[in-house]
Structure 1
Amino acid sequence: MDDPESRHLKEYNGYAPLTSDFDSFYTRRLKHRLDDCFNRPTTGVPGRYLTYLERYTPDFFYTYLPTGKQIQCLNLASYNYLGFAQSVGQCTDAAEEAINHYGVIAGGTRVAGGHSDAHVVSEKVVADFVGKEDAVIYSQGYSTNSVIFSSLVDKDCLVISDELNHASIRFGIRMSGASLKVFKHNNLKKLEQILRKEISGGKPRTHRPWKKILVVVEGLYSMEGTICDLPGLLELKKKYKFYLFVDEAHSIGAMGPKGRGVCDYFGINPNKVDILMGTLTKSFGATGGYIAAEKVIVDRIKCAGLGSVYSENSAPPVLAQINSSLQTITGQVRPGEGEERLQRLAFNSRYLRLGLKRLGFSVSGLDDSPIVPMMLYNVPRLPAFSRWLLKRGIAVVVVGYPATPLASARVRFCVSASLTKEDLDRLLCDVDKIGSRIRVKMSTEKSPIDGKLRRMKIDDVLATLVDDVQEDLSKF
Structure 2
Amino acid sequence: MTKLLTNEGTSTINRVDLQNGVKNGPVRSNLRQKEFKETFEDAPLYILVLTYLNYGILTLFGYLRDFMRAWRLEKCHMAEEREEQKDFVPLYQDFENFYTRNIYMRLRDAFNRPICSVPGATFDLMERVTDDYNWTYRYTGKAIKDVINMGSYNYLGFAENDEESLASVEEVLRTYGAGVCSTRMEVGHLDKHKELEDLVAEFVGVEAAMVFSMGFATNSTNIPALVGKGCLILSDELNHTSVILGARLSGATIRIFQHNNMRTLEKLLREAVIRGQPRTHRAWKKILIVVEGIYSMEGSIARLPDIVALKKKYKAYLYLDEAHSIGAVGPTGRGVVEYFGMDPTDIDVMMGTFTKSFGAIGGYIAGKKELVEYLRIHSHSAVYASSMSPPTTEQTIRVMKCIMGLDGSLKGQRRVCQLAQNTRYFRQRLQDMNLITYGNEDSPVVPVLMYMPTKVGAFSRHMLEKKIGVVIVGFPATPIAEARVRFCISAAHTKEMLDKVLEELDKMGDVLYVKHSKQRRSSRNHSVVYHDSSVKL
Aligned to 1:52, the other structure's residue is in SS state strand
Aligned to 2:375, the other structure's residue is in SS state helix
Q: Displacement, 1:89?
A: 4.8
The equivalent position to 1:37 in structure 2, one of 110, 113, 119, is 110
Return closer, same or farther for 1:444/1:16 CA change in 2, 3 Å cut-off.
Answer: farther
The equivalent position to 1:349 in structure 2, one of 417, 423, 433, is 423
1:324 equivalent in structure 2:
398
Measure the CA separation in 1 of the matches of 2:495 and 2:318. Answer: 39
Matched, 1:431 2:496: no
Q: Displacement, 1:13?
A: 3.3
Measure the CA separation in 1 of the matches of 2:397 and 2:364. Answer: 13
Return closer, same or farther for 1:435/1:15 CA change in 2, 3 Å cut-off.
Answer: farther
The equivalent position to 2:342 in structure 1, one of 260, 268, 281, is 268
Q: Displacement, 1:367?
A: 0.8
2:27 equivalent in structure 1:
none
Aligned to 2:325, the other structure's residue is in SS state coil
Measure the CA separation in 1 of the matches of 2:408 and 2:84. Answer: 64
The equivalent position to 2:201 in structure 1, one of 102, 127, 133, is 127
Q: Displacement, 1:373?
A: 0.5
Does structure 2 conserve the Cα–Cα contact (< 8 Å) formed by 1:374 and 1:412?
yes
Measure the CA separation in 2 of the matches of 1:16 and 1:67. Answer: 41
Aligned to 1:105, the other structure's residue is in SS state coil
1:457 equivalent in structure 2:
none
Aligned to 1:58, the other structure's residue is in SS state coil
2:212 equivalent in structure 1:
138
Matched, 1:170 2:226: no
Q: Displacement, 1:219?
A: 0.4
Aligned to 2:438, the other structure's residue is in SS state coil
> AA paired with 1:235?
A
1:79 equivalent in structure 2:
153
Does structure 2 conserve the Cα–Cα contact (< 8 Å) formed by 1:91 and 1:321?
no
Measure the CA separation in 1 of the matches of 2:167 and 2:218. Answer: 27
Measure the CA separation in 1 of the matches of 2:332 and 2:191. Answer: 27
Return closer, same or farther for 1:248/1:91 CA change in 2, 3 Å cut-off.
Answer: farther
Q: How many residues align?
A: 457
Q: Relative contact order (alpha carbons < 8 A, sep ≥ 6): 1 or 2 greater? A: 2
Q: Displacement, 1:142?
A: 0.4
Measure the CA separation in 1 of the matches of 2:513 and 2:225. Answer: 49
Measure the CA separation in 2 of the matches of 1:11 and 1:362. Answer: 52
Measure the CA separation in 1 of the matches of 2:317 and 2:199. Answer: 25
Matched, 1:201 2:249: no
2:376 equivalent in structure 1:
302
Return closer, same or farther for 1:255/1:100 CA change in 2, 3 Å cut-off.
Answer: same
Measure the CA separation in 2 of the matches of 1:347 and 1:116. Answer: 38
> AA paired with 1:66?
Y
Residues 279-312 of structure 1 show CA distances to partners (whole Å, capped at 9, x for unaligned) of 0010000100000010000000001111101111
Q: Displacement, 1:396?
A: 0.5
The equivalent position to 1:189 in structure 2, one of 251, 263, 266, is 263
The equivalent position to 1:390 in structure 2, one of 464, 470, 478, is 464
Q: Displacement, 1:234?
A: 1.1
Matched, 1:68 2:141: yes
Does structure 2 conserve the Cα–Cα contact (< 8 Å) formed by 1:379 and 1:406?
no
Measure the CA separation in 2 of the matches of 1:23 and 1:441. Answer: 33
Matched, 1:219 2:297: no
Q: Displacement, 1:24?
A: 2.6
Q: Displacement, 1:9?
A: 8.4
Matched, 1:369 2:428: no
Does structure 1 conserve the Cα–Cα contact (< 8 Å) formed by 2:214 and 2:363?
yes
Q: Displacement, 1:87?
A: 1.5
Q: Displacement, 1:77?
A: 1.0
Does structure 1 conserve the Cα–Cα contact (< 8 Å) formed by 2:79 and 2:92?
no
2:192 equivalent in structure 1:
118
Which portions of structure 1, spanning 4 or more consecutive aligned residues, are displaced by more than 6 angstroms?
none
Return closer, same or farther for 1:18/1:191 CA change in 2, 3 Å cut-off.
Answer: farther
TM-score, normalized by length of structure 2? 0.82
Q: Displacement, 1:447?
A: 3.9
Does structure 1 conserve the Cα–Cα contact (< 8 Å) formed by 2:81 and 2:90?
no
Residues 51-103 of structure 1 show CA distances to partners (whole Å, capped at 9, x for unaligned) of 10010001221100001111120111110000100121554112111112212
Measure the CA separation in 1 of the matches of 2:189 and 2:497. Answer: 43
2:307 equivalent in structure 1:
233
Return closer, same or farther for 1:314/1:441 CA change in 2, 3 Å cut-off.
Answer: same
Q: Displacement, 1:185?
A: 0.5
2:482 equivalent in structure 1:
408
Matched, 1:336 2:410: yes
Measure the CA separation in 1 of the matches of 2:528 and 2:496. Answer: 12
Measure the CA separation in 2 of the matches of 1:448 and 1:417. Answer: 29
Measure the CA separation in 2 of the matches of 1:448 and 1:24. Answer: 47
2:14 equivalent in structure 1:
none
Aligned to 2:97, the other structure's residue is in SS state helix
Measure the CA separation in 2 of the matches of 1:176 and 1:9. Answer: 37
Does structure 2 conserve the Cα–Cα contact (< 8 Å) formed by 1:162 and 1:182?
yes
Matched, 1:210 2:284: yes
1:99 equivalent in structure 2:
173
1:474 equivalent in structure 2:
none
> AA paired with 2:224?
S
Measure the CA separation in 2 of the matches of 1:17 and 1:196. Answer: 45
Does structure 1 conserve the Cα–Cα contact (< 8 Å) formed by 2:470 and 2:486?
yes
Does structure 2 conserve the Cα–Cα contact (< 8 Å) formed by 1:139 and 1:314?
yes
Q: Displacement, 1:7?
A: 5.4
Does structure 1 conserve the Cα–Cα contact (< 8 Å) formed by 2:456 and 2:483?
yes
Cα-Cα RMSD:
1.8
1:281 equivalent in structure 2:
355
Aligned to 1:30, the other structure's residue is in SS state helix
Does structure 2 conserve the Cα–Cα contact (< 8 Å) formed by 1:253 and 1:284?
yes
Aligned to 1:88, the other structure's residue is in SS state coil
Measure the CA separation in 1 of the matches of 2:520 and 2:166. Answer: 48
Q: Displacement, 1:148?
A: 0.3
Does structure 2 conserve the Cα–Cα contact (< 8 Å) formed by 1:123 and 1:135?
yes
Does structure 2 conserve the Cα–Cα contact (< 8 Å) formed by 1:134 and 1:298?
yes
List runs of 5+ in structure 2 lacking aligned partners: 1-72, 532-537
> AA paired with 2:174?
N
